[in-house]
Structure 1
Amino acid sequence: TVWWNGRVVGGWAQRPDGEIVWRLLDAEGLGREAEAAVAERAELLRRALGDTRVTPRFRTPLERELAA
């Protein structure tokens, strides 16, 4: 789940190669600052996870799409 200022605005997934991918679903009023912050956090998460892969037991449709 991607949060911004106390509200859910999107989702994320990890691809098999370790890339963290995300999508904003409710970008109304977010602007470039929010997108840049989410991109920065996704990169920090990728580095923190390293070779570890996160595989949810039950993926949401968005996770399945993003992780493909």
Structure 2
Amino acid sequence: MSPGIVEAIVASKEAALVLSLLFTVVACTAIYRIWKSREAQQDKMTAMLADLLKEMARLTNRLLEKNDG
């Protein structure tokens, strides 16, 4: 923020309202970024779980074949 904007906010009668609005915007941005990050992590975890299940199925199949033969 430039010094002129800061001085205008401080001199304003609604300084608390403006600061509250700025804080809310920053908080919303942070929450949105966390949500997007969680979404990306969730996709990675889903893929990892699918790979793990495939590997478990393959190993179970090999174990069953080994016991039958």
Normalised by the length of structure 1, the TM-score is 0.31
Higher strand share: 1
The structure carrying a bigger helix percent of its residues is 2
* Greater relative contact order (Cα < 8 A, sep 6+): 1
Structure with higher Rg: it is 2
